[in-house]
Amino acid sequence: MAAVSAQAAVACSSPPTVDASPSSGLPEAVAQQRAKYVAEYGPDYVDHVIVPHLMNRVTQGERPVLPMIDVALTKENALPRDLWGLLSATWQPNPEEGVTVFLQGLEKRGPDNRRKRIYMSAVTPDLYRAVYQPKVVAFWNELFAPDNTNKPLMRVYLDTFWDLYWDLHLGVKGSDIPAQVREIGTSFMAVLAYRDVTQRNVHDNYMTVRKNLDFLKSWIDDRLGDISSGVTPNPKATFAWYWLTNGEGSEYFNHKDVVFECFHNFVAFSQWGNSLFNVMGTLARDAGDPQAKDWFAKTMSGSPDTGTPFPPLERFVMELFRVISPNGGSISALAETSPPPFDRYTYMVTPHPTTSRDAVQWVNPDAFDPERYLPTPTSAQVDQAKIQQMGLAGCPFDPVDWPVRDGRPAALRNSAFGTVFGVADGQPMPVCDYAGFAPFGFGYRRCPGEQLTTMAFEDLLRKVWTDRLDFVKVRGDGAEQLPVGPTTVIADDMGFVRRR
């Protein structure tokens, strides 16, 4: 735990207030860059965004052999320092205003990774089928409506996505979403996509987020009040109801934490955009991956939803995500082995794409083959006996159940690698607990929204198959450049047509 505490101390250090001179403690090259931009953007933005951006050090980590991540690679404030101004009015971590599980070390999450379990209580597969699926299906139906045929699709997606986002989180959509709330989401996504904080458009979008941040938090807080008081229709069809109910105002997931999660999810859900674009490219009629297209036809022509633990369509979507990798890696905060000569921020990325294609894990790792998941262990199978079979002396994480408080006969359980998964009516709802399936991360830090995302894209593919849709190029060199996900700006040149 000492190593984790040291890392957290480094990650929490506040950026210094500096002047333009190298004597301020900054490296000369950084001080020169500060002087270059301070007149254009002002000292607040330069000192809290551009200077920390230049002082960030992000290194590539190893590909895990086991499907877990070491607790020494802490998640405590593991966000590049220059991005904190998007989340906090103080430009730095401020736990008094709420905490997200995605940026909190394991030692602070409560017993048995409690905060993660409370988050996941809102996104388990049984809930998707019961309350979220109609919202997602309606979104896909609107996106792939006949009026959008042969049009660039990602602009339409970006213009409608926030209705789905806020409907899932708070039960609000359409005209009930203020313009400022839509604006902050769009600007947040633009900062993550373009990422170079020295660009004018990134600065302008960054400051738009900050301008609207207090309004957004207040608006979310009011909507949570509507959910608690029963004003919101069908409140049990929102993430927030389960967070409020299962958190019960505890120190592990209190009211301010629910507010924070509702807008920090901008980061996680922004990956739906680049995932959609890459799925369209993979299955494109005149290009794409021939193996993937053959498997799609084979999967949908059979019994796509029959079988356990992963039916054919689920395996197909898993293989899509293994290949396109919505998220490039899991970022951790690190401590230096000796005190640095000046404040700087060091992070390591445990890679997803290369781990998913690691020849140590798979025979023919570059082949598109959904059947590769038939023999892989699930999170429900990885217990003490499985660990010992692998040659380990004991469970890195003791498997335990945490019953939900929302009235369902359900619990959150973890595998021996720390991977949390749901159990409903006594039936496990596991994930593939294998290092070679890495698009959603590893062990106790695995993305809690994995199954919701997988099931949403299953519904997308059902729509594509049932409506006989083909993905096609619809525009050439003049395609609009759009920010659709983290570090992802695309040419909006993909659309769809219907086969006769």
Residue 490 DSSP class: E
Q: Is the pLDDT at 160 greater than 80, yes or no? A: yes
Mean pLDDT score, 383-388: 94
Report whether 70 contacts 227 (CB < 8 A).
Answer: no
Q: Is the pLDDT at 374 greater than 80, yes or no? A: yes
Mean pLDDT score, 457-479: 95
* CA dist., res. 279 & res. 432, Å (int): 21
* Per-residue CA distances from 227 to 132, 164, 171, 410, 456 (Å): 16, 17, 8, 22, 24
The DSSP line for 26-71 is S-HHHHHHHHHHHHHH-HHHIIIIIHHHHHEEEEE-PPPSSS---T
Task: Tell me the average pLDDT of the chain.
Answer: 93
Report whether 276 contacts 157 (CB < 8 A).
Answer: yes
pLDDT at 232: 98
Q: Is the pLDDT at 12 greater than 90, yes or no? A: no
Report whether 237 contacts 114 (CB < 8 A).
Answer: no
Q: Is the pLDDT at 9 greater than 80, yes or no? A: no
Share of the chain above pLDDT 70, in %: 95
Report whether 47 contacts 338 (CB < 8 A).
Answer: no
Query: What would the pLDDT profile of 112-148 be if each residue is shown by its tens digit?
Result: 999 999 999 999 999 999 999 999 999 999 999 999 9
pLDDT at 336: 84
Judged by average pLDDT, the poorest of 39-53, 167-181, 413-427, 473-487 is 473-487
Read off the pLDDT band of 36 (50, 70, 90). very high
Mean pLDDT score, 141-157: 97
pLDDT at 24: 61
Q: Is the pLDDT at 25 greater than 80, yes or no? A: no
User: 368: left (phi > 0), else alpha (psi -120 to 50), else beta?
Assistant: beta
Q: Is the pLDDT at 1 greater than 60, yes or no? A: no
Scan for tokens 């958190």, then name that residue.
247
Mean pLDDT score, 291-311: 97
Residue in 302, 306, 275, 280 with CA at minimum distance from that of residue 293: 280
- Rg over alpha carbons for the chain, rounded to the nearest Å, is 23
Q: Is the pLDDT at 13 greater than 60, yes or no? A: no
Read off the pLDDT band of 283 (50, 70, 90). very high
Mean pLDDT score, 418-437: 98
Task: Out of 1.10.630.10, 1.10.3720.10, 3.40.50.280, 3.40.50.300, select the CATH number for domain 114-329+354-498.
Answer: 1.10.630.10
111: Cβ–Cβ under 8 A, 6 or more apart, which residues?
none
Residue in 78, 71, 70 with CA at minimum distance from that of residue 264: 78
Query: What would the pLDDT profile of 224-282 be if each residue is shown by its tens digit?
Result: 999 999 999 999 999 999 999 999 989 999 999 999 999 999 999 999 999 999 999 99
* CA dist., res. 47 & res. 18, Å (int): 7
Mean pLDDT score, 214-229: 98
Scan for tokens 């609000």, then name that residue.
172
